[in-house]
Amino acid sequence: MFTQDILSGQVALVTGGSRGIGSAIAMTLAAMGAKVGVNYNASRDEAEYVARVIIEAGGDAVTVQGNVSLDTEASDVVEKINQHWGQVDILVNNAGITRDKLLMRMSLEDWENVIDVDLKSAFLCTKYVMPQLIRRRNGRIINISSVVGIGGNPGQANYAAAKAGLIGFTKAVAREVASRNVTVNAVAPGFIDNGGMVEQLSDDSKDTILNRIPMGRFGSGEEVAELVAFLSTPNAGYITGQVFTIDGGLIA
């Protein structure tokens, strides 16, 4: 059972917290008492909106710009939160992009951009946050993967590889740090309608996908956020190295 302030005293960093699923995660963690660093790369207005909503609701949030796929910027993002609040306890590696094309048409740039933003960023942010989690014997890393990383999807070889890579990363790092009371889990959403990636699909593609989802609807960012929030709490302290799909039964 959650209490309203179960994350009180904890500091969360949500990469790509300015829009879509990331903004829902940032707001949900804040509603549970966490102070939240809202990272963004380009969407400054959206990030500031998220922070403002949190603060107006009585929470604490700060925006932090940085392209987390770049080594120095990922390091700076973590450092800025450390300077602001003195610590990071919960890291949600949510930042992600798609550059969909069939393999034969996919450029090296399409491949590298997606691998960098969707996979390398998680490596970098986790690496820069981890020493303090180990020192304090407490921490939560939650990586936002995708059902596409489990089942594949035509036109998304780059994205599927990055999201499958995140799952392997989750399991390996979970084993490395389990004895230090730091948990590392992955959440693999199906199709989430939040103004983000699903929005870019054509109406025909949306209909085709909806027909494949046993629940007959897309998920919401808030539903994903509730799962991430649970994994962030002390109640989830014995769960690590796991992948949780949240997809309306799509790959059940």
Among 7, 10, 11, 16, binds ligand NAP (CB under 6 A): 16
Q: For the CB of residue 96, give the shortest distance to ligand NAP in the complex, in Å.
A: 2
Q: How distant is the alpha carbon of residue 171 from its chain centre?
A: 16
- Nearest 5°: CA angle at 21, between 220 and 236? 90
Contact 58, 36 (CB under 8 A): no
The whole-angstrom separation of Cα 185 and Cα 173 is 9
Contact 94, 14 (CB under 8 A): yes
Q: For the CB of residue 210, give the shortest distance to ligand NAP in the complex, in Å.
A: 13
Complex with ligand NAP: residue 11 or 24, whichever CB lies closer: 24
Complex with ligand NAP: residue 41 or 138, whichever CB lies closer: 41
- Nearest 5°: CA angle at 179, between 146 and 115? 30
Rg (CA), the chain: 17
159 is catalytic: yes
Residue 88 touches ligand NAP, criterion: CB under 6 A: no
Contact 39, 64 (CB under 8 A): yes
Residue 99 touches ligand NAP, criterion: CB under 6 A: no
Binding mask 217-236 for ligand NAP (x = CB under 6 A): --------------------
Write out the binding residues for ligand NAP, residues 41-70 only, by CB under 6 A.
41-43, 67-69
Among 10, 63, 87, 94, binds ligand NAP (CB under 6 A): 94
Among 31, 62, 117, 174, binds ligand NAP (CB under 6 A): 117
Q: 3-state DSSP helix/strand/coil percent for the chain, to nearest 5?
A: 50, 15, 35
What lies within 8 Å, CB to CB, of 102 at 6+ separation is: 154, 155
Q: For the CB of residue 74, give the shortest distance to ligand NAP in the complex, in Å.
A: 8
The whole-angstrom separation of Cα 65 and Cα 67 is 7
Write out the binding residues for ligand NAP, residues 23-42 only, by CB under 6 A.
39-42
Residue 134 touches ligand NAP, criterion: CB under 6 A: no
Contact 105, 80 (CB under 8 A): no
Q: For the CB of residue 23, give the shortest distance to ligand NAP in the complex, in Å.
A: 7
The whole-angstrom separation of Cα 244 and Cα 54 is 27
Residue 165 touches ligand NAP, criterion: CB under 6 A: no
Q: CB under 6 A: which stretch of 14-22, 129-137, 170-178, 229-237 binds ligand NAP?
A: 14-22
For residue 34, CA distances in Å to 26, 110, 131, 228 come to 9, 36, 20, 13
Residue 146 touches ligand NAP, criterion: CB under 6 A: yes
The residue ranges that bind ligand NAP (CB under 6 A) are 15-16, 18-22, 39-43, 67-69, 94-97, 117-118, 144, 146, 189, 191-192, 194, 196-198
